[in-house]
Amino acid sequence: MTTSTLNICLVQSRLYWREPAQNRAQLEGMMRGHPGSDLYVLPETFTTGFLGDTAETGEGMEGETLRWLRELSQELNAAIAGSAALDSEKGRRNRFVFVAPDGRVEMYDKRHLFSFAGEDQRYVAGAQRVVFNYLGWRICPQVCYDIRFPVWCRNRGDYDLLLVVANWPSPRVAAWDALLRARAIENQAWVVAVNRVGEDGKGLSFPGHSAIYDPLGEAVIAPWEGEGCRSADIDLQRLREVHEQFPFAREADAFTLL
């Protein structure tokens, strides 16, 4: 099945520190209260908060969080995406998971760990850039700090949508807003991004500013503050129109990423 239009719901939520069950319950309530979307996007580390995981809150791909995502995705008949601290054979990952209604799970392990906060001491970095397909859309997932690295996010003609989840704090929100628009403009792609709100267990505040930008960097959903869901349609026709009217990507420099 393919569709030229996707309705995407941004789930801009506070997160309870080290409380996976409470976070799942809250996020489920928010999604159920905003029915009808094709894709629901949750924040980064939505079960625990950023670096809020402990030995007790660790789980793998067969744990409660993935079971919950599969069941809810099927019930809502929509995909659900976000990242969580998940254990793998090589260690714990900040893992972006994308769960489709048919039970299919795509994943991407965060490449750029935020050493400024010690994330590189807690997790194993991913090594592979991933693009997956959903309803005919080519989607490239990114997690928070990744968007500071334009080479990693570079559209090689292989994606339509850059999908970003984050725990991006208030002191650097201007960078968040600017980088998202820049990634949309330079890659001539849709950018959908969700950040959390509230305070974490260390007292750090988060502003939200989730947003959707079209391939020219125009806001379809402008950054906003406060907890809640907002949704909008994005379409492939808009993407094609931009590429035809402004064929800038044809003149991009060629390079190989090692």
Task: Return d(Cα 95, Cα 136) in angstroms, integer.
Answer: 23
Task: Name the active-site residue from 106, 119, 140, 144.
Answer: 144
- Pairing type for strands 79-88 and 39-41 reads parallel
Task: Return d(Cα 190, Cα 212) in angstroms, integer.
Answer: 7
Task: Name the active-site residue from 9, 110, 119, 153.
Answer: 110
Grouping H, G, I as helix, E, B as strand and the rest as coil, residue 113 is coil
The CA-based angle 107-108-109, given to 5 degrees, is: 125
CA distances from 193 to 13, 53, 102, 174, 221 (A): 13, 23, 24, 14, 10
Residue 202 known to be catalytic: no
Task: Name the active-site residue from 44, 59, 106, 119.
Answer: 44
Residue 44 known to be catalytic: yes
The CA-based angle 100-168-178, given to 5 degrees, is: 95
Residue 110 known to be catalytic: yes
Catalytically active residues, by annotation: 44, 110, 144
